[in-house]
Amino acid sequence: MKTKFLQLFIGTIILLISVSCKVEPEAIEYGKDQCSFCKMNIVDQTHSAQLVTAKGKQFKFDAIECMVNYVDQNREEKIALLLVADYGNPGEMTEAENAAYLITPEIKSPMGANLSGFSEKNKAEELQQKHAGEIYSWETLKQKLSDK
């Protein structure tokens, strides 16, 4: 009897540990979730961002620049995933390191950086033709925002 109880107890502990450490994004609940950096409600599906740590902790942001600033201020954090909203597909996320970014005053973002992310560079270039602005990679974007 004690052996079965012990096996069940150990199995439950292992299950809880494995479930609690999932390294995958949770859906952003627009209108309910708050930005982990500036504390504003996240409502804009075209400019949001998300960070997931190696331990599975979730950080959600109302704007890409909030996530960039958070990463800059929390360099010791072990990051598993960085995701940004794909401006051309509202509500869909893309990997931040592979995205292209457009900064143009003609497309407003929640925190005023006028920064939008794109899953494909050619989509950013198309909007650049219409609205002007500058295109950045993840690395050049981090550098630009840290220069301010």
The residue type found at 2 is K
The residue behind tokens 């439950």 is 12
Residue at 10 is within a domain: no
> Does residue 79 have a pLDDT over 60?
yes
114/11 Cα distance (integer angstroms): 50
**Total domain count, the chain:** 1
Residue at 2 is within a domain: no
What is this structure's pTM?
0.82
Residue at 16 is within a domain: no
28/53 Cα distance (integer angstroms): 16
Q: What is the dihedral of CA 37, 105, 46, 98, to 10 degrees?
A: -80
Structural domain including 99 reads 24-146
The residue count for the chain? 148
Q: What pLDDT does 58 receive?
A: 95
Residue at 106 is within a domain: yes
What pLDDT digit, counting tens, does each position of 116-137 carry?
A: 999 999 999 999 999 999 999 9
What pLDDT digit, counting tens, does each position of 10-67 carry?
A: 666 665 555 555 778 999 999 999 999 999 999 999 999 999 999 999 999 999 999 9
